[in-house]
Amino acid sequence: MEPHSIVVVSLHSPKERIWGELLEISVAGVTLRGIDLESFDDFIRQVKHPEGERIGLPTLFFPMQRIERIALDEARGSIPSLADKFAAKVGQTLENYLTQFA
């Protein structure tokens, strides 16, 4: 996995799944700009809100001992990736959207 890949990070203690843009993987842990997967629909609603303030994704670091796995956010057969769902609902790719916050 390369920096700027869109990934889903599964964590334990407590159990969480984080979706977002991978910034760095090191022996210490994983850094990404992302959100808890349970907040995905709320995030899209906020992005689409015409009068709302533009929001980015927070930069997060998780130590390696919390990481269960990291999966690329990829389409599987007829099931679109979360990034594809974001693009379909918002009208632009996640990568393009995040450039305004870099």
The answer to whether residue 85 sits within a structural domain is yes
Q: Quick check: 20 and 3 in contact, CB under 8 A?
A: no
Kindly state whether residue 1 falls inside one of the protein's structural domains: no
Indicate whether 32 belongs to any domain. yes
pTM recorded for the entire structure: 0.89
CA torsion angle 3 65 40 94 (round to 10): 0
Best CA proximity match to 32, nearest among 40, 24, 44, 41 = 24
User: What are the per-10-residue average pLDDT scores of the chain (102 residues)?
Assistant: 94 95 96 94 85 81 97 95 95 88 72
User: Domain for residue 21, yes or no?
Assistant: yes
Angle, vertex CA 43, rays to CA 75 and CA 85, nearest 5:
20
Domain that holds residue 85: 6-99
User: What's the confidence (pLDDT) of residue 51?
Assistant: 72
How many structural domains compose the chain?
Answer: 1
Q: What is the CATH classification number for the domain harbouring 16?
A: 2.30.30.100
